[in-house]
Amino acid sequence: MTVAGLLGALASPDPTPGGGTAAAIAGAMGTSLLVMVTGLAKSKSNTDDEKAALAGARAELEPITARLTQLADADTEAFNAVMAAYRLPKATDDEKAARSRAIQDGLRAATVVPLDTLRACAIAVDHGRAVAAHGNRSASSDVGVAIGLLKAAADGAAANVRINLTSLKDEVFRTATEDETTRVLSAATAAASDAMRAVAT
């Protein structure tokens, strides 16, 4: 898909692609910018440990871009499945029960996808701390943009988890997912603050 096509699809009144997809793509852009900085020639410092930290971050970050691109598509598919479930017939009790199960299954998937997006962004921000600390100083604004996009993506993914959780009836799943969302988002927020401080120094 082209960038112009993605923007047009986001702007169209169809509910998909929506915020979950945009968040995943923003996270993928942030991750890509971090990968760029790990590939720049001059790092802030030249110790072997610091070079190894940058190389390690690069190896971890590279697959996350592809993962977030997949999750961008998966978010659209999951939400389409929820909408299809809502359109199922509900004339008989059997149909009502089947429709309700399909909606609940769909919502569960539509919750798991943005939670995975949140997790991927949190891992990228975590490695972003090493990039901020040891990356080429001339690219500090690139690192700042990357961390800002990953933080916005993590916030957006968490909002998508939570809005879908509200309609889920499985209370055990709901509580576990809410706890996990809070935990991962807190970790991502803290790591983003660390990275932003390192960029500024």
From 36, 71, 121, 195, residue interacting with a copy of itself (rule: CB under 8 A): 36
> Which tokens belong to 172?
């055990």
**Beta strand segments in 51-100, E:** none
Which residue, 30 or 106, has its beta carbon nearer to a copy of itself?
A: 30
Written as six digits, the tokens of 28 are 């993928």
* Binding residues for a copy of itself, total number by CB under 8 A: 52
Stretch that binds a copy of itself, among 36-44, 101-109, 124-132, 171-179 (CB under 8 A): 36-44
Cα–Cα distance, 23 to 3 (Å, whole number):
14
Q: How far is CA 92 from CA 88, 105, 137, 160, 192, in A?
A: 11, 20, 66, 32, 51
Q: Is residue 194 within the footprint of a copy of itself (CB under 8 A)? A: no
Residue 41 touching a copy of itself (CB under 8 A): yes
Angle at CA 67, nearest 5°, toward 64 and 73?
145
| CA proximity to 116, closest of 78, 84, 82, 81 | 78
Using the rule CB under 8 A, which residue among 70, 100, 104, 140 binds a copy of itself? 140
For a copy of itself, the binding residue among 43, 160, 177, 181 (CB under 8 A) is 160
Only segment of 45-53, 82-90, 138-146, 181-189 that touches a copy of itself (CB under 8 A):
138-146
Q: How far out from the chain centre does Cα 184 lie?
A: 11
- Alpha carbon 76 to its chain centroid, in Å, reads 13
Q: If binding is defined by CB under 8 A, does position 39 make contact with a copy of itself?
A: yes
Closer CB to a copy of itself, residue 160 or residue 177? 160
Chain positions 42 to 101 lying near a copy of itself, rule: CB under 8 A, are: 62, 65, 69
User: Letter for the amino acid at 161?
Assistant: V
Chain centre distance of CA 54? 22
Give residues in contact with a copy of itself (CB under 8 A).
1-4, 6-8, 10-15, 18-20, 22-23, 25-26, 28-33, 35-36, 39-41, 62, 65, 69, 139-146, 148-149, 151-152, 155-156, 159-160, 162-163
